[in-house]
Chains A and B, each alone.
Chain A
Amino acid sequence: MSAARWRDPALLLLALAGLAALVAALDPRLSRVVALRDLVFVVDVTRSMNVRDMDLGEGAISRLDAVRAELPRVIANLPCGSRAGLGVFTERRSLTFIEPVEVCENYVPLSAAIDALDWRMAWEGDSMIVRGLHHALDRARQLDADLVFLTDGHEAPPPPFAGQPAYGDAATPVRGAILGVGGATPMPIPRFDRDGREVGFYRPEDVQQSPRRIGKPPPDAASRPGFHPRNNPYGEADLSGEEHLSTLRGAYLHDLARTSNLGYVAMSEGVSSVASAFARATRSRAEVRKVSVAAFPAGLALAALALGYAARVFMDRRQQGH
């Protein structure tokens, strides 16, 4: 049994495989720093979320259905130990359903609660997104979590000329992200009757086309048709407009996110883009965790063993070729 015997590559590989398998059997563990996040997901359930312009591969579905399908995947993508809460937005405020809970242990109830989201939960028809966002930010701060606000950005009634209020409390930066949901093409908004049956779509005259009459009128109000200093200081004659159709107002939400110190990403960009937006825009808690790395030496052992047999075949061929 001399040293020369070890020149046989198959034998060397076998020895390597044995060593690696032994290491794997000892179940080595490394400590790894995991970035945990505490997020409150607030889902817009206003009527524009019923627009069927999302496609997850099985035909057109509504924005809310897309959220119901995608949000569990977003949550599943968070590392165990992260916490997720759930709420809805409509009118001008949010309502918390579930305060943040650990995501892995509670994944089943969380995804069931997401699946139960329904436009019928909306307690009023308005969709004042900026006010709802501010309310949700306050709420997230109380819960000591970051906000993820899922919306299509369709304000109803339309935002006023004078612009929207900024988020008041800049001193305490609650972070978070806006997740845009919807498509780029204007699509009609389904309309439901009192008993929740779909009865067609909103027509131009069914919705308020003119901006909210709050704050300053536009500077060129006097030159607008229908202007009257007392009766119509905003100069509106607009019974036409596109407010009965809905798109994802990405640019609007992007601006809103920027001024509110939030991140923005469209949900259609996929779970990994959403995760990287969370990484940029939300706070994380670092937790050191022992992670089993036995798979690496085990994989090495397997590879060495397979190579050993391959080397044997190769060498036998060569010998026979002589």
Chain B
Amino acid sequence: MITLDHPLVLLLLPLALVPLLVPLLPARAQPALGAADAGRAGRGLGPTLRVLGAVAIAALVAGLAGPWWGRASQVRVGTGAHLALVIDRSLSMNDSFAGRTPDGQNESKAAAAKRLLTDFVHRRPHDRMAVVGFSTAPMLLLPMTDHKPAVEAAIAAIDEPGLSKTDVGRALAMAFSLFDDSSEDAARAIVLVSDGAGIVPREVQEALLPMAARQGASLYWLYLRTRGAKGIFQPPAPGEPDTAQARPERHLNLFLKRLGVPYRAFEAEDPEGVAQAIAEIDKLEAKPLLYREEGPRRPLGSLLFGLATAAIIALLAARLLDRPLPPLPRGALILEDDA
């Protein structure tokens, strides 16, 4: 398929009509009496020269329009998915897994998540990904894209010191809304990375249930558990209150199970745990995926300018070889060459 960089230049194309109307070779003041006797070979030359002039101009104009040829982007089959990464940007993500400010020995939860998610993005070349951050409010950090450098740049920003709260419910609602119709054939997944959970208000729960059912995205929760924090799978000890306020993580897990989508929760207590969970997600979300691949771009300008050169050289040659007919022996008619 041919694409133009500057299509407006084509407005000059009517210039190519000029050679068809005006001959480049001089009209002779005197009609050549011998023209009628000229060889038949010369007869077709006039129209040919006109066409050559038109070709030269058209080729120059087309070349100036910046054409390049590239195969139309091809649809290929790879493995991958459309992924929404939902990342907690609350302040506690900047603490280490031990719940302290990271020193040289250990990294913060956010830094570990950043490092491992970047690897994850590297390993999945065909995925389309979006990045959602959440704290007090959900933020669409990067809409769905297949541009990996942008995804990596959005993930690179997640270890910046974060904000205060953890509004996980609305962040999930945002993530579900990111899958558009174009991703209908693809596997869809949401990867929620957080080190805590908030209470998902009832109205958000009610909004999430139909969204999840409609989008059919599988859901992974990677819970970065701080040492000493209660696990998401751990039932409360007898006598301990079992409410969303007391155990938000456990109750978020219970709610996500009720969403009716394929769901898995991973609890990681250190960077190795995070790596294992991400490897597991990588394995699970490897389904056939259609993706587009752009063909290489070949500029056509030089080719067209070459064509114009050839046409002009042919015109020049015709002009230089264009001799008046030899003077006819009879009569006093004098044809002066180059007078």
Q: Which residues of A contact B316 (CB under 8 A)?
A: 11, 14-15, 18
Q: Which residues of A contact B24 (CB under 8 A)?
A: 10, 14, 308-309, 312
Q: Which stretch of A116-124, A176-184, A204-212, A228-236 is in the interface?
A: A116-124
The DSSP consensus for interface residues of chain A is helix
A309 touches B142 (CB 8 A): no
Q: Which residues of B contact A308 (CB under 8 A)?
A: 24
A25 touches B309 (CB 8 A): yes
A302 touches B64 (CB 8 A): yes
A105 touches B302 (CB 8 A): no
Q: Which stretch of A95-103, A217-225, A269-277 is in the interface?
A: A95-103
Contact of B142 among A97, A302, A306 (CB under 8 A): A97
Q: Which size class do B's interface residues fall under?
A: 35 or more
Complex-state Cα separation, A102 to B147, whole angstroms:
11
B140 touches A295 (CB 8 A): no
A113 touches B29 (CB 8 A): no
A18 touches B137 (CB 8 A): no
Whether A197 is near chain B, meaning CB under 8 Å from some CB there, is no
With A98-B157, A99-B156, A109-B142 as given contacts, are A302 and B61 in contact (CB-CB < 8 Å)?
Answer: yes
Q: Which residues of A contact B150 (CB under 8 A)?
A: 98, 101, 106, 109-110, 113
B160 touches A109 (CB 8 A): no
With A106-B149, A306-B15, A312-B24 as given contacts, are A298 and B312 in contact (CB-CB < 8 Å)?
Answer: no
B312 touches A14 (CB 8 A): yes
Complex-state Cα separation, A292 to B140, whole angstroms:
39
Contact of B160 among A88, A139, A302 (CB under 8 A): A139
Q: Which residues of A contact B56 (CB under 8 A)?
A: 17, 21, 305
Cross-chain pair count, CB within 8 angstroms: 171
Nearest chain-B residue to A308 (Cβ)?
B24
A1 touches B142 (CB 8 A): no
Contact of B141 among A10, A113, A295, A302 (CB under 8 A): A113
Give residues 267-316 of B contacting A (CB, 8 Å): 301-302, 305-306, 308-309, 312-313, 315-316
B143 touches A21 (CB 8 A): no
With A1-B320, A98-B142, A112-B145 as given contacts, are A123 and B164 in contact (CB-CB < 8 Å)?
Answer: yes
Max chain A CB contacts within 10 Å: which of B15, B60, B316, B337?
B60
A101 touches B153 (CB 8 A): yes
Q: Which residues of A contact B19 (CB under 8 A)?
A: 309
Contact of B137 among A122, A139, A294 (CB under 8 A): A122
How far is the CB of A305 from the nearest CB of chain B, in Å? 6
Whether A144 is near chain B, meaning CB under 8 Å from some CB there, is no
B312 touches A305 (CB 8 A): yes
A14 touches B302 (CB 8 A): no
Nearest chain-B residue to A106 (Cβ)?
B150
Whether B196 is near chain A, meaning CB under 8 Å from some CB there, is no
Whether B94 is near chain A, meaning CB under 8 Å from some CB there, is no
Complex-state Cα separation, A120 to B154, whole angstroms:
19
Contact of A123 among B135, B147, B160, B301 (CB under 8 A): B135
Q: Which residues of B contact A8 (CB under 8 A)?
A: 26
B53 touches A309 (CB 8 A): yes
Whether A108 is near chain B, meaning CB under 8 Å from some CB there, is yes
How far is the CB of B29 from the nearest CB of chain A, in Å? 5
Other than the known A112-B143, A292-B301, what 10 A-B pairs have Cβ atoms closer than 8 Å?
A106-B153, A109-B151, A112-B142, A121-B137, A123-B135, A123-B137, A298-B64, A309-B18, A309-B24, A312-B23
Please list the residues of chain A having a beta carbon within 8 angstroms of any beta carbon in chain B: 1-2, 4-5, 8, 10-11, 14-15, 17-18, 21-22, 24-27, 85, 87-88, 95-102, 105-106, 108-110, 112-113, 115-116, 118, 120-124, 139, 292, 294-295, 298-299, 301-302, 305-306, 308-309, 312-313, 315-316, 319, 322
